[in-house]
Each structure stands twice: as C-alpha cells, then as structure tokens.
RNA sequence: GGGCUGGUAGCUUAGCUGGUAGAGCGCCUCGUUUACACCGAGGAGGUCGAAGGUUCGAGUCCUUUCCGGCCCACCA
C-alpha cells in the first residue's frame, strides 16, 4: 500500500495544481494549422454583473464536456471565451453600488466619469469571472478572452450598424415603446415580462358636454383619464349610436372630448366604451392617430404625474390611481368598481413597472431577416434539441416586430450617428483607421454646412452586440483565417429563456452579415432551481454559490452532479444532496485507484493486456466496458444518461463485482496476479479517458500514474483518443452466464442476511443436481458468498435453507443455526411471489386471444417462463414439506 | 385567448417502435473482511394523476378530464 496516500480524495490540491498546469501548457489555444474537422463552441458570454451563478456552471460545464469529448474524438475543438458588458443589467448593478456607497445617482456623474467607473468595474468583475472559469476546469483559453465592448467587437458593431444603415434596414422614428421608469430607458418588446395582478375595473361616467347622461367607460387605469382625449365605441354598437360625434366633458379636468367610432373596440368588454389616452396606451395611440385626437402626456419618464391638475402633480402612478378613483367617487362619477385580473408589464431587469411611452427611438426592420432565418431552420441548417423549441422559434419569427435598439443608458455601444443642431440633418459617424476603435464627427453638416454637430446620446441594446457574437468573436468583419476556420460553429449551448432575445437574433444576424447560419445545432438546457423547484434569486435567499461548492466538494463533483441531472431543455432541481453523491463518486474512483496502486507496488514495466481472457468475469467486464463506450448519449445531448451509465459501470460493475472477484487472484501472486492486474489497470485507465470530459481533474491526476503501466505515452488526457477499450468478441452466453452466477451469489447472501450469519462464518453450499457450468465457476460463489465449498450431487442436507433458480437447487446446511419457523416463513414468501407470477403468466396463456394473436416467440417465451416457475414452485413446496419433518 | 411542457416508490427521476415497472437519495436490518463508513451486504416501499376507448395485452397508442410549470398575445 502506498503509505502516504490519504484515505479520502483531496480535491483542492489536485484541482489547483492541474488548472494552472493546463493554462500554462496552453492546452486550450486555438489551432489554425490543424487539418482536423473544426468543432467550435462560442461561450454565451456572461454579463459582468458579478460572480457566476450555478446556471452558468451548468451550461458551461456542458460545453466543456462537448469541447473535450470532440477533441478526444479527433476534432479540432475550440471554445471561444468571452464576457458581455451587459448593458442595463450592469449599469443597474453599478448604480445600486454607487447609491449604497456614496448616495449618488447617475445624474451626479458626467458621462465620461460614469464610463470610467464602469470600465474599472469591468476589470474587477472580469477577473472574478476568469478566476471562476479556471476553477470550474473549463477548457477556455484565458489568454484570449473577448469582451463585447473591446476594440475588435466595437468595430464589428459599427460595421454591422453601417451595413444596416446603408441597406436602409435601420430607421429612427417616434413610436410607442416600452419604457422602464426605473432604468429610465426604452426596452424592446421581448424585454418586457408580464405579471398577473389582482386589479380593479373602474366604471366611470363621462357626462355629455351639457351635463346630461353621457357614457360610462371601464378602465383599469383611472389615473390616465387625465390624459384622455376621446372615448371610442364600436361603430355598430346600438347602445351608443346616438352619441357618436357628440362631445363629453371629462370629469376632474373638464376637458371637452369627442366620442368616436372605431372597429377595434370590443363591444363585449366592460361597457363597450373605451376611454382613449393616446399618450399612455398602445391601442389608444393607434385609435387616436386614426381619429386625429390630440396627445396629452401626464406621466413623466420617471413614472410621475405631470401636466395635470395641481393636486396630482408629482404623484407616482400608483398613488395617482388611488387618488383619482377617490375623487371620482366623491364627485359621483364612479358608478361601479369590479375586481379584475390583468397583467402588468414589468422590466426584465429590475421588475419595476413599464409604461407605454411615446418617444424617438432607433429600430431595425427584421422582416426579411426573419424570413431568411425561417428558411434556414426549415431547411435543417440549424437543428434544435429538444426539437419543440424549433416550432416556438418559427412561430416567433413569423410574428416578429421591428427591433427597438436604442437605450437611454450610458453603458454600451454609443449609437454611431451624428445630428446637426441647425438643420436636423443626421448621418453616420466615421470609424477612425487604426487598431483602437474610435468614431469621429464629420467636419461639417453635409446639408447646411453647420459645424454644430453632436453624436447621438443613446447606446445600442446590449443584445445587438450579442447577436453579432458568433461573428465578432472570430474577428469579423475581417476575413481572417480564424473566421473561415471556426465559423460557423458547431453547437450553441444555452438556456431556453434567451432563445428569442439571443439565439434567434444570432441566426438572423449570422445569415445577414456572415452569409451562413452561426451554428449548426442549438442545444438548450433548463434552469437550475432550488431543491423545491423554485427559481433561485437573491431576494429568496436560495442561490447557491458555485465557488463555495467547489471549495467544499471539488469542481469534478459540482460538474458531475449537474451533468447527472442534465437532460435537454429540462429544469434541474438542485440541492446539496446531489453534490454529496457526486463527491462520493470521486472518492470511489480515487479509492479504486488506491487499491490498484497498492497491488502495483513492486510491479516493474508495462502490463500486457492478455490476448484471450480465460475467466468468465474477465470476459464479462470487458463486455460491460465496451457497452459504455458507444452509447451516443453525448451526441444526443443526453448528459444525464451518459453520466449515469459511467457511474453505474464503475461503481457497480467494476468495483462491486470485478474488483471483488479479482481479489483472490491478486492475493495468489505470480502470473495470476499479473494477468488480472493488467485487465484491471487497462480498463481503469481507459475508463479515465472516457470520463475525462465530465470529470477532468481527478481523471487527469490518476491517469498520470497509470499511463506508465499501459503502452500509452504519458500526456494530457485531452490529447488522447477515446475508443472502445478492447474490441474483443465476447461469447454471447458470457453475460447471461455471469448474470446467473451473480444471481446465485445474491440469493445465498440473502439467506445469510436473513439468518444473521456473520460475514466471517464460512458455510457450505450443496447443489444436488450436477451442473458443469457452475462447477467450473464455483470459485466465484465461494469467494463472494462466503462459501467454504460448493458441493455437487448427493442428497439434500437436513436442516438447511434452500433456494431455487430455474433447475438449480441450492441448499445451505445450517445445522444448529437454522430457525425452522423463519425458514418456513422465508420459503413461503418466496413461494407466494412465484405463484403470483405463475398466475399472471398462466392467465395470459390460457387466454385464447393471446395464443392466437400474439407473436409465436412471445407465446413460446411465456410458456418457458411458466414451466420454469412451475418447477421452482414444486421445489419450494418440497423444501417446505421436508421442514415439517 | 393560443401554444408548449410535466404528473411513475417519501424525494429526484429512467422507461425506445405496447408484452409481468428500473435507478440514485432517503428509510429499515446486519457488518470496523487487508481500496473506500464519502464503505459493503441484504430488505421494505409503486393499482405508473383520473375516467373512458383501441388491443389477446397499455406507464407506453387515442379521447376526455383534473392538477402543476412555462411561453406567446395591444382587450381597455
């Protein structure tokens, strides 16, 4: 035994050592000279909002598995590393930080100063993220990390904007957009989330100009009535025919507003009459446009009331709603208040409420791009796993809206457009030549000659640069070797929650700018939830920190526990329990290695794998190993199944059975030991290779030791090729025969357990009928079931426990130990079970429908089972009878 | 309102083209056998959400239904 080896695996030392070794050996650098087929994955760049969470751990571990696995399949793997500036999300983090630390808001800083703060943050947070990349064992080249706002990426963004501009796909317009009053910016329609709320439906009477009975409208937002400029009814609504064209006197403000007829009004809803607030509702805006109603704004970009009766000015929308409702009630305009469930729009970044807001924004016309993407997907240029997301994407593309790309924040790519203060002309900024990215204004306005020019203050939606990620990371627009080698990438692995925000847009931009789809396969993973299935969030306090877990259990364990549960598109309930299991698995592997090392003491040179395997167990384990080498689970993104198959083989087959069976041979020494040791070591070493993509650290660490006993040269495992260990044809009966031996051993163990016979007490086993196969493998039974001698033939011993498997009757003499009533009970139970089985099968067989219609083989199979069961039952009956004597 | 999912042992789940329900964790009993107690051996535990139907036979196919989760949609 190697004395200096601790009993439990110590992950910390190993992982620290190896992650440094890998990075300094430049193992994960891109290889532009390789002739092998490229296999590229672009990391979904994490936002620099803080440390990585467990969801990153999942999706990136999956990518790492794919990268390492494909590399070991002989492909030219390259995993592109990077981070994302994360627009609003990151700016929010910084604003919160500034407020907490200095009680300052963004208005307290100049644009440049604010940007400096953010760039400093990028340094700090970026380093944290890189540290985590390394800790997780991810095969990313950390010397070559892209950032969505670095010079190369900024040039790509500019070039893309320029092309869209020239192609007239980009335009600026005054539109109703989603405005986050907290983040103080426009959002695209898919950045809005909806939350169900228990609201109210207020019924308000708008009298006629002359004070007489007018119209009762229904609304969920009474405060917006202060900006009403009309009331609409359906043109065919008989109830209101006489009022169309009449004027109403708006309560509280006494503004005179007309009743208009519009077919968009739903007669069934509420009172069938709808108040029109063009400034604060999308549909109202459209109706207002059609009927040329004026636009009055009463809600500011901060979500506060403005330009309305004095008493409401400055109130929040919520406050004003209550006040207006109260005032209406006091003045007798409120006729009814119903409970009503509706959706409120919230910001996907801060979850504060969204106001529809009329403003000038930049948009991209997406129609054509969506059409091309649809075609590519339909043509199978991009596949989806799980496939259900393909249709969701196609559906979304079909109903695509123009993309609002301008954001009124500071952190991001500033929109490269200048305006003339004098004549209002606008144009594209020029990109300076040189390595650093910089833009400049033209010397003078092309239209009026004014030098009074300025750049647009807004920045681009962060998803704009994200959509370019597959191209920009590879150096586009430069037609580099890097780009031609690695574009398009092989797999886009990410969470299903950003399928529209990101994945679909990458496909559209990839086709538009790169001429090809950016990736061939989309593989979606689910969300990592807490163990009760709740989404993890800071406010719930149920987030788990990957670094903490790595520290406690090791990166291999964290990785494996996530992979164990990873199935395409499925959410993962994650608790510490599953990591403990994975940690125990690493320990199991380590201890198996320790066991082998112990027996390798004093062994010199290489161990030759035998050409032929004499032992049944050898053939069986080789066969079991071959089975796990070609499952194809990874190609199907079935990581859970792959992990389980590896886990089961090792723990159950290799350790619990094969090592246990090998022990006597190891103890024998000489050739016997050498032979079994060779098999043990070769399988173990090849297993390490197989497992390496999933658990890179422990496998690398152990392989270094075992390589010298095989004919393999020592090298990093990622440079090795995974292949089936020994493609040796195994006799078809081997597995069946071995299973029978296993069954016999288990049955004897059960008897031992039921009679509480200590492991060290050796027993005999008597098999009354001769069986050549068992007699030639009886040493397995003796070794693993605590049997002194397996004896064949002769009479059944008196005072013995008995069990039967097919035609094999096994007696365990238990002179003095046996408890007759216990054995009686045990046998009866076994009998009952068999009788029950017998009855189900027999019932089938006595059904004429079955025997006539079922396939012949099935009928034969059942007949055989029935006759075996019958025999076994008779034997048990016999044994029960002899107990009575 | 439209669409997508899932409902299998206490928990998390596997079950392909229909042929007596598997696993991990937990639980119970036993065990300090010279790799591992982060271990070994054995055991208990499921009328597969419900109801119909197709079939000789259904967790597996069809219909209906109940309960979750998610996405999309400008009904005030």
What are the pLDDT digits (tens) for A477-525?
A: 999 999 999 999 999 999 999 999 999 999 999 999 999 999 999 999 9
Q: What is the pLDDT of residue A756?
A: 86
Q: ipTM beyond 0.85?
A: yes
Give mean pLDDT, residues A179-184.
Answer: 90
The answer to whether the beta carbon of residue A281 comes closer than 7 angstroms to any atom of strand B is yes
- What three-state secondary structure class fits A696? helix
- Least confident piece of the model among A155-164, A287-296, A681-690: A287-296
Conformation bin of residue A793: beta by default, left when phi > 0, alpha when psi is -120 to 50: left
Predicted local confidence at residue A420, as pLDDT: 95
Across A348-373, average pLDDT: 92
Question: Which nucleotide's C1' is closest to A753 (Cα)?
Answer: B42
pLDDT surpassing 90 at residue A528: yes
Predicted TM-score of the model (pTM): 0.94
Q: Do the Cβ atoms of A426 and A436 come closer than 8 Å?
A: no
H-run or E-run covering A508: helix A505-514
The mean pLDDT value for A88-114 works out to 93
Nucleic acid strand B within 7 Å of A485 CB: no
Task: Determine whether the distance from the CB of A741 to the nearest atom of strand B is below 7 Å.
Answer: no
Q: Is the CB of A3 under 7 A from strand B?
A: no
**Range from A283-287, A551-555, A632-636 that averages highest in pLDDT:** A551-555
**For A284-288, A553-557, A685-689, which range has the lowest pLDDT when averaged over its residues?**
A284-288
The arithmetic mean of pLDDT across residues A42-70, rounded, is 95
CB within 8 Å of A304: residues ≥ 6 apart: A314, A315, A316, A317
- Between CA A649 and CA A628 the distance in angstroms is 8
- Say how far apart CA A550 and CA A132 lie, in whole Å: 10
Q: How far is the CA of A533 from the C1' of B52 (A)?
A: 33
Expressed in percent and rounded to 5, the helix, strand and coil fractions of chain A are: 45, 20, 35
- Write out the two tokens for A811: 């007696």
Residue-wise pLDDT tens digits, A18-39? 999 999 999 999 999 999 999 9
Query: Average pLDDT in the A306-320 region?
Result: 89
Positions in chain B where some atom is under 7 Å from a protein CB? 3-5, 11-14, 19-20, 23-25, 29-31, 33-43, 55-57, 71-76
Please check whether strand B approaches the CB of A196 to within 7 Å. Answer: no
Is residue A569 within 8 Å of A525, Cβ to Cβ? yes
User: Which residues 89-128 of chain A have a CB under 7 Å from nucleic chain B?
Assistant: none
Has residue A852 got a pLDDT over 60? yes
Q: Give A502's DSSP letter.
A: I
Angle at A864 between CA A861 and CA A866, to 5 degrees: 110
**Measured CA to C1', what is the nucleotide nearest A758?**
B31
For the stretch A369-403, pLDDT in tens is 999 999 999 999 999 999 999 999 999 999 999 99
- Under a CB-based contact definition with an 8 Å cutoff, are residues A564 and A647 in contact? yes
What CA–CA distances, in Å, run from A289 to A218, A273, A276, A704, A811? 21, 18, 11, 75, 95
A661: CB within 7 A of chain B nucleic strand: no
Nearest residue to B38 (CA, C1')? A584
pLDDT tens-place string over residues A582-595: 999 999 999 999 99
Q: How far is the CA of A839 from the C1' of B8 (A)?
A: 25
Of all nucleotides, the one whose C1′ comes closest to residue A10's CA is: B38
Rg (CA), chain A: 37
Residues 760-819 of A with CB under 7 A from strand B: 760
Query: Residue A723's pLDDT is what?
Result: 67
pLDDT of A1: 44
* Residue A43 near residue A84 (C-beta atoms within 8 A): no
Give the per-residue pLDDT at A727: 63
Position A714 scores a pLDDT of 87
Q: Is the CB of A746 under 7 A from strand B?
A: yes
The rounded percent of chain A whose pLDDT value lies above 90 is 66
CA of A540 to C1' of B3 (A): 30
């Amino acid at each position: 035994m190697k004395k200096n080896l601790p009993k439990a695996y110590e992950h910390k030392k190993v992982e620290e050592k190896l992650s440094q070794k890998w990075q300094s050996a430049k193992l994960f650098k891109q290889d532009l000279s390789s002739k092998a087929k490229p296999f590229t994955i672009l990391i979904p760049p994490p936002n620099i909002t803080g440390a990585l969470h467990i969801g990153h751990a999942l999706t990136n571990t999956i990518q790492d598995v794919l990268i390492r696995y494909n590399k070991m399949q002989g492909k030219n793997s390259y995993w592109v590393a990077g981070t994302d500036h994360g627009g609003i999300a990151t700016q929010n983090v910084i604003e919160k930080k500034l407020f907490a630390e200095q009680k300052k808001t963004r208005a307290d800083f100049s644009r440049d100063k604010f940007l400096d703060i953010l760039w400093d943050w990028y340094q700090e947070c970026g380093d944290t993220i890189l540290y985590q990349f390394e800790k997780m064992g991810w095969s990313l080249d950390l010397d070559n990390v892209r950032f969505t706002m670095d010079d190369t990426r900024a040039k790509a963004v500019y070039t893309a904007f320029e092309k869209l501009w020239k192609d007239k796909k980009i335009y600026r317009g005054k539109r109703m957009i989603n405005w986050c009053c907290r983040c103080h910016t426009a959002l695209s329609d898919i950045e809005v989330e909806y939350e169900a709320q228990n609201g109210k439906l207020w019924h308000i009477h708008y009298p006629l100009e002359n004070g007489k009975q007018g119209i009762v409208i229904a609304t969920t937002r009474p405060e917006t009535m202060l900006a009403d400029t009309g009331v609409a009814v359906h043109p065919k609504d008989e109830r209101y025919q006489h009022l169309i064209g009449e004027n109403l006197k708006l309560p509280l403000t006494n503004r005179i507003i007309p009743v208009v007829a519009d077919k968009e009004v739903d007669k069934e809803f509420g009172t069938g009459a709808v108040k029109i607030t063009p400034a604060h509702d999308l549909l109202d805006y459209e109706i207002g446009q059609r009927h040329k109603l004026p636009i009055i704004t009463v809600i500011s970009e901060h979500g506060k009331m403005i330009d309305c009766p004095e008493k409401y000015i400055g109130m929040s929308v919520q406050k004003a709603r209550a006040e207006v409702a109260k005032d209406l009630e006091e003045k007798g305009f409120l006729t009814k208040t119903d409970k009503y469930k509706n959706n409120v729009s919230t910001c996907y970044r801060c979850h504060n409420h969204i106001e529809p807001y009329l403003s000038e924004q930049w948009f991209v016309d997406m129609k054509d791009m969506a059409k091309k993407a649809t075609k590519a997907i339909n043509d199978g240029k991009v596949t989806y796993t799980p496939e259900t997301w393909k249709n969701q994407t196609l559906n979304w593309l079909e109903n695509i809206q123009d993309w609002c790309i301008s954001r009124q924040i500071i952190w991001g790519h500033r929109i490269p457009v200048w305006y003339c203060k004098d004549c209002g002309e606008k144009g594209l900024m020029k990109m300076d030549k040189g390595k650093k990215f910089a833009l400049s204004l033209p010397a003078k306005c092309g239209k009026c000659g004014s030098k009074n020019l300025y750049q647009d203050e807004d920045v681009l939606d962060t998803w704009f640069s994200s959509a370019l990620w597959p191209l920009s990371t590879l150096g586009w627009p430069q037609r580099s070797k890097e780009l031609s080698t690695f574009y398009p990438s092989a797999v886009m692995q990410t969470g299903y929650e950003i399928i529209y925000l990101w994945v679909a847009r990458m496909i559209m931009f990839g086709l538009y700018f790169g001429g090809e789809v950016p990736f061939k396969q989309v593989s979606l993973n689910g969300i990592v939830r807490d163990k009760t299935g709740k989404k993890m969030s800071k406010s719930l306090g149920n987030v788990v920190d990957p670094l903490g877990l790595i520290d406690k259990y090791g990166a291999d364990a964290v990785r494996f526990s996530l992979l164990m549960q990873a199935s395409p598109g499925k959410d993962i309930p994650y608790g510490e329990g599953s990591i403990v299991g994975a940690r125990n698995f690493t320990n199991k592997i380590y201890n198996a290695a320790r066991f082998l090392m112990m027996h390798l003491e004093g062994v010199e040179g290489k161990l030759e794998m035998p050409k032929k395997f004499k032992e049944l167990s050898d053939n069986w384990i080789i066969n079991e190993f071959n089975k796990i080498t070609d499952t194809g689970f990874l190609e199907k993104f079935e990581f859970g199944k792959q992990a389980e198959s590896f886990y089961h083989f090792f723990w159950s087959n290799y350790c619990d059975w094969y090592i246990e069976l090998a022990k006597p041979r190891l103890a024998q020494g000489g050739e016997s030991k050498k032979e079994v040791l060779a098999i043990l070591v070769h399988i173990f070493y090849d297993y390490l290779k197989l497992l390496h993509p999933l658990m890179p650290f422990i496998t690398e660490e152990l392989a270094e030791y075992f390589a010298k006993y095989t004919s393999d040269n020592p090298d990093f495992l990622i440079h090795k090729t995974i292949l089936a260990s020994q493609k040796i044809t195994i006799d078809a009966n081997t597995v069946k025969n071995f299973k029978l031996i296993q069954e016999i051993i288990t049955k004897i163990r059960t008897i031992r357990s039921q009679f509480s016979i200590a492991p060290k007490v050796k027993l005999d086993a008597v098999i009354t009928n001769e069986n050549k196969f068992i007699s030639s493998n009886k040493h397995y039974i003796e070794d693993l079931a605590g049997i002194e001698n397996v004896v064949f033939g002769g009479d059944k011993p008196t005072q013995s426990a008995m069990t039967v498997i097919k035609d094999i009757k096994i007696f365990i003499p238990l002179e003095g130990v046996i408890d007759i009533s216990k054995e009686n009970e045990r046998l009866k139970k076994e009998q009952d079970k068999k009788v029950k089985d017998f009855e189900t099968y027999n019932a089938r067989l006595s059904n004429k429908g079955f025997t006539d219609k079922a396939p012949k083989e099935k009928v034969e199979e059942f007949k055989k089972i029935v006759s075996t069961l019958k025999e076994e039952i008779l034997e048990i009956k016999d044994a029960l009878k002899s107990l009575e004597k």
